[in-house]
Amino acid sequence: MNNAAYIQLFKLAGPEMLIALAALAVLLVDLTLMRGAPVRARRVIAVLLTGVGGFAAALYLLQVPLRAVSWGGLWAVDPLTQLVKLGLVGLAVLTAVLSLEADYTDHVGEHFALLLLATVGLMVMAGAADLVLVFLGLELTGLSLYPLVALNKAGPRATEAALKYFFFGALAAAVTLFGFSFLYGLSGTTNLAGIAAALRGRGFDPLLALAVVFSLVGFGFKVAAVPFHLWAPDAYQGAPTPVAAFIASGSKLAGFFLLGRFVALALPESGDAGRAALFTPGWVPAVAVLALASMVLGNLAALAQRDLKRLLAYSAIAHAGYLLLAVLALNGAANRPAALAALVYYAGTYALAGLGAFAVAGHVERHAGAAALNHLTGLGRRAPWLAAGLAVFLLSLAGLPPLAGFPAKFYVFAAALNTPHAGAVSLGLVVVALLLSPVGFYYYLRVLKLAFVTESEKRPAGPDAPGNSPQGGENRFGVETAVALLAAAGVLGLGLFPQWLLGPLQAAVREAGG
Amino acid sequence: MSPLERALVVSALLFGIGLAGALTRRNAILVLAGIELMLTAVNLNVIAFWRHGGQTASAAGPAFVLFVIAVAAAETAVGLALIIAWFRQRRTVQLDEADTLKG
Amino acid sequence: MDAQLAQYIPVLILLVLAGAVSGGMLLLAHWLGKAGRRTAAKDMAYECGMVPVGGGSTRLAVKFYLVAMLFILFDIEVVFLYPWAVVFRELLREAATANLIFWAMVSFLGVLFAGYLYAWRKGALDWHEPRRAGSPAAPNRSR
């Protein structure tokens, strides 16, 4: 490597470095200048610094030449990755704003620094073009998010959630790495495109199948697909709500984008020699099984939930199943651009709706002590704006037409039905997804019924929620309301005009060359 | 057996032992140790493929291993920190007592 | 069976072996662990032939783990100095790359130093805590 290459790396990884610098700045400022200041002031300063870092990174992302080539094959910078990174930075800033009310911890500097470092990890995931960087991105994200989940002085439940999240994550990472080591051994390179080139045209190979299936474990964990989902409900419920919102939105978006790119770049598409070819690359049946299990289990388990955050976790698992349909559609070069655009569109709009729903859950939790479903009763009258936002998010998640969830599902299903060589499998999965839609409707509508219809005269003060704040306090136009309204506007806008996002996405995919 | 195969056997054994330990142990520290063993198996695998697979021209293998080692250390530190936090609250490191979150 | 597939038979065998050995160890421990008679002398902790002082498994203060954590981190980060040291001479010869190799290491150590400062300011390096009695980090009895 020479000097020029090093400088180019600085240029291409500029946004990530800006965010990382912001993380260090937040940590050190909180520890030195703001020492002894009231917690509220420290939070405001930290949010401001986060915002400045995010804004600088976003400007950089918009301004850097988009056609830059990868640096030594490690790092991909193309319009598509820039777009996804822009989304990730946006989600991080929204999460930071949401954390302005983060009265669950006194570790202000750590909270925001870890949030920013997790964002760097997600951006690395989005831009990785090499097994080493894929691994580093996954781990940086994970290692920042585990302690974030634990940052809740409310007690042992958050620590327990973090511990579960950590152990599942570490185990999944180790299995994935074992798969990576075989991918490296079989292909002789750690470069994703190089791996695909080396593996193309191989016959059925048990070791390759093993390597691919092992590699998929870590991605399955990141996106919370069944059977690697066990951490998700606990982590979502135990984590501070802004952190849960970030895991549900940012981590999901980057995880699926990385999975899509990994599948598209590193794993050869199945040949055209009929049925047997389907099993050659190994990942198609594995992803199909994950998709089916996630859709069925996520939707059915969501029915039984009594806590809004747990319900959102299971609904997230169900949506992971739908998103895996789009990943499946990446098989076959002709279908790839459409499938990739649909995948990112779905993941992006899902992230927005999920973040908004968690903002509402955070508001309920702050005022009632927990986000149990029956704490929602009468939300429509107590906080009409928030309740309206919740309706928009949940109906979008259910896939109702004027909202973003509808075009998202439509394009994903369309891409899945166009999948070559796997027509029957994809058709079956789409049918299952459609059959499960009413189930989704049912549990989303149940939540909305509680919020709008059920009378709240016997207002349940949860056993652990003695400090119900006065009504006036809840009506205040807080940051949660602002974030929820912003996200709701986004969901509605992207639902009415899907081309706003889909157009740039398709152009970016074309330019990035699939 | 060729040197590569011997190394792969050892690493597969290490991985199996680590996985078995991580899945069956109830003590959080020992689960962490099992996971570390799995990562060691990965390192051995990569180095064996690099050394005996005719890939010594590129430094990708050793570089990968260095990163895995460093990240494994960071992972251990985060895991230990979480275990300590949990121990301070619950006075235990037995994972089967992590059961307050259900549903 | 074609040659390409046969090539991987050893690997499959070793996977089976891995399962068998790890499972076998657990089973053996299960069976053999109960064999033999236990006496008070056998159960005693071994301490260089002396009569042991205190129990065999004393609990260590949680502080030890904190120090262990910091040690692991700063110890292992040094791993990145090795590849740097390997190419260092070669790159030092040219003026352009000499700058590069210097600043690369400075930026790495800078991040490491920020972490060190953080640990320091947080008091993670102080062995004696100001509030000792009843602090959560003090050695403890169970429950």
* Sequential DSSP letters for A342-362: HHHHHHHHHHHHHHHHHHHHH
pLDDT of res. A349:
92
A426 close to A328: Cβ distance less than 8 angstroms: yes
For the ranges A109-123, A319-333, C78-92, the one whose mean pLDDT is highest:
A109-123
* pLDDT at residue A278 in the model: 47
What are the residues whose beta carbons fall under 8 Å from the beta carbon of A147, sequence distance 6 or more? A110, A114, A162, B78, B81, B82
**What pLDDT is attached to residue A136?**
94
- Single out the residue of A57, A127, A66, A61 nearest to residue A93, CA to CA: A57
pLDDT tens sequence across C25-72: 888 877 877 656 677 777 777 777 777 666 656 666 767 778 888 888
With cut-offs at 50, 70 and 90, classify the pLDDT of residue A3. low
Please, are residues A416 and A329 in contact by the beta-carbon 8 Å criterion?
yes
Which one is predicted more confidently, C81 or C57? C81
pLDDT digits (tens, 9 = 90+) for A104-118: 788 888 899 999 999
Neighbours of chain A (3+ CB pairs under 8 A): B, C
Cα–Cα distance, A196 to A476 (Å, whole number): 55
Q: Coil, strand or helix: which one is A130?
A: strand
CA distance B102 to chain C (A): 24
Q: Are C119 and C72 in contact (CB under 8 A)?
A: no
Angle, vertex CA A260, rays to CA A259 and CA A261, nearest 5: 95
Which of A104-108, A456-460, A510-514, B73-77 bottoms out in mean pLDDT, i.e. has the lowest?
A456-460
pLDDT of residue B67: 92
Name residue A261's amino acid: R
Mean pLDDT of A369-373: 80
pLDDT band at B95 (very low <50, low <70, confident <90, very high): confident
Compare CB distances from B86 to A143, A160, A170 and report the shortest one's residue.
A160
Print burial letters for A494-504: b (CB count within 10 Å at least 16), e (below 16). Answer: bbeebeebbee
Judge: A28–C4 Cβ closer than 8 Å, yes or no: no
Distance from CA of B1 to the nearest CA of A (A): 17
Residues paired with residue C50 on neighbouring β-strands, in sequence order: C47
* CATH number for region B3-95: 1.10.287.3510
Helix (H, G, I), strand (E, B) or coil at A75: strand
> What distance in Å separates residue A309's CA from the closest CA in chain B?
11
Instruction: Give pLDDT, residue B71.
Output: 93
User: How many residues belong to chain A?
Assistant: 514
Domain count, chain A: 1
- Residue A38 in 3-state DSSP? coil
* pLDDT digits 0-9 by tens, A249-268: 999 999 999 999 888 887 76
Contacts with A, B 40-69, CB within 8 Å: 41-42, 45-46, 48-49, 53-55, 58, 60-61, 63-64, 67-68
Of A51, A54, A85, nearest to A253 by C-alpha is A85
> What does the pLDDT average to over B8-15?
90
On the question of pLDDT at A153 being above 80, the answer is no
Average pLDDT over residues A2-14: 71
How much helix, strand and coil, in percent to the nearest 5, is found in chain B?
A: 80, 0, 20
What residues of chain B have any CB closer than 8 angstroms to a CB in chain C? 1, 5, 8-9, 12-13, 15-17, 19-20, 24, 59, 62-63, 66, 69-70, 72-74, 76-77, 80-81, 83-84, 87-88, 91
Comparing A40-49, A108-117, A464-473, B56-65, the range with the smallest average pLDDT is A464-473
Residue B13, pLDDT > 50, answer yes
Inter-chain residue contact B24 with C26, CB threshold 8 Å:
yes
pLDDT of residue B34: 94
Instruction: Report pLDDT for C136.
Output: 45
pLDDT band at A421 (very low <50, low <70, confident <90, very high): low
Question: What's the whole-number mean pLDDT along residues A470-482?
Answer: 64
Q: Is the pLDDT of residue C3 over 80?
A: no
- Nearest Cα neighbor of A340 from A430, A262, A399, A277 is A262
* pLDDT beyond 80 at C103: yes
Q: Compute the average pLDDT of residues C123-131.
A: 69
Q: Do the domain assignments include residue A423?
A: yes
pLDDT computed for residue A276 by the predictor:
45
Q: What is the structure's pLDDT at A462?
A: 44
C-beta atoms of A306 and B45 within 8 A: no
Contact criterion met (CB below 8 Å) for A263 and A343: no
What pLDDT, on the 0 to 100 scale, is given for residue C7? 61
Contact C11 B16 (CB under 8 A): no
How many angstroms away from the CA of C5 is the closest CA of chain A?
7
For residue A211, give every residue at least 6 positions away whose Cβ sits within 8 Å of its Cβ, in sequence order, or none.
A179, A180, A182, A183, A186
Assign 3-class secondary structure to chain C. Answer: CCHHHHCCHHHHHHHHHHHHHHHHHHHHHHHHCCCCCCCHHHHCCCECCECCCCCCCCCCCHHHHHHHHHHHHHHHHHHHHHHHHHHHHHHHCCHHHHHHHHHHHHHHHHHHHHHHHHHHHCCCCCCCCCCCCCCCCCCCCCC
Contact between C17 and B70 using a beta-carbon 8 Å cutoff: no
Residue A304 DSSP code: T
DSSP A248: I
Evaluate whether A40 touches A137 at the Cβ level (below 8 Å).
Answer: no
> Which runs of E-coded beta strand occur in A273-369?
none
Grouping H, G, I as helix, E, B as strand and the rest as coil, residue B7 is helix
Q: Which residue has the tokens 């709701």?
A: A488
Mean pLDDT of B7-20: 90
Q: How confident is the model at residue A86 (pLDDT cuts 50, 70, 90)?
A: very high
A136, B68 in Cβ contact below 8 A?
no
Number of Cβ within 10 Å of residue A38's Cβ equals: 9
Q: Quick check: A270 and A277 in contact, CB under 8 A?
A: yes
Q: What percent of chain A has pLDDT over 90?
A: 31
Per-window interface: A 158-217 vs B, CB < 8 A: 159-164, 166-167, 170-171, 173-175, 177-178, 180-182, 184-185, 188-190
Of A138-152, A189-203, A305-319, B30-44, least confident by mean pLDDT is A189-203
A286 in Cβ contact with A212 (< 8 Å)? yes
Q: In which residue are the tokens 């910091």 written?
A: C70
B40-86: per-residue pLDDT in tens? 999 999 999 998 877 777 888 888 999 999 999 999 999 988 988 88
Average pLDDT over all residues of chain A: 83
DSSP state of A468: P
8 Å CB contact between A291 and A304: no
pLDDT attached to residue C137: 43
Confidence of residue A469 (pLDDT cuts 50, 70, 90): very low
A120 φ/ψ sector (left φ>0, alpha ψ -120 to 50, else beta) = alpha
Q: List the structure tokens of A116.
A: 């920013």
pLDDT classification of A350: cutoffs 50, 70, 90 = very high
* Domain region containing A364: 3-455+476-511
Nearest Cα residue in chain B from C67: B77
List the beta bridge partners of residue A128: A75
Interface contact flag, A184 B38, Cβ < 8 Å: no
Under a CB-based contact definition with an 8 Å cutoff, are residues A72 and A114 in contact?
no
Residue C35's pLDDT is what? 58
Mean pLDDT of A168-176: 93
Nearest to A225 by CA among A318, A141, A142, A331: A318
Q: Which of A456, A493, A162, A331 is nearest to B78 (CA)?
A: A162
Give B9's DSSP letter.
Answer: H
pLDDT at residue A93, rounded to an integer: 93
In a domain, A333, yes or no: yes
Percent of chain A with pLDDT over 70: 87
Distance from CA of A3 to the nearest CA of C (A): 6
Q: Is the pLDDT of residue A172 over 70?
A: yes
| The token pair that represents C53 in the structure block | 């002082």
Per-residue pLDDT band for B103 (boundaries 50, 70, 90) equals: low
Nearest-by-CA chain A residue for B43:
A181
> How far apart, in whole angstroms, are the C-alpha atoms of residue A63 and residue A55?
12
Structural tokens at position C9: 């038979």
Report yes or no on A463 lying in a domain.
Answer: no
Instruction: Decide if C114 and A24 are in contact by the 8 Å CB cutoff.
Output: yes
pLDDT for A418: 81
A105 three-class SS: coil
- Pick from A229-243, A306-320, C30-44: least confident: C30-44
The answer to whether C11 contacts chain A (CB < 8 Å) is: yes
CA A317 to chain centre: 11
pLDDT of residue C36: 63
pLDDT given for residue A71 in this prediction: 57
- Between chains, do B39 and A188 touch, taking CB under 8 Å as contact? no
The rounded distance, in Å, linking the Cα atoms of A508 and A126 is 14
- Residues A383-410 have pLDDT tens digits of 888 889 999 999 999 988 888 889 999 9
Given this model, what pLDDT does residue A422 score? 62
Read off the pLDDT band of C6 (50, 70, 90): low
Phi first, then psi, for residue A369 (nearest 5°) are 90, -25
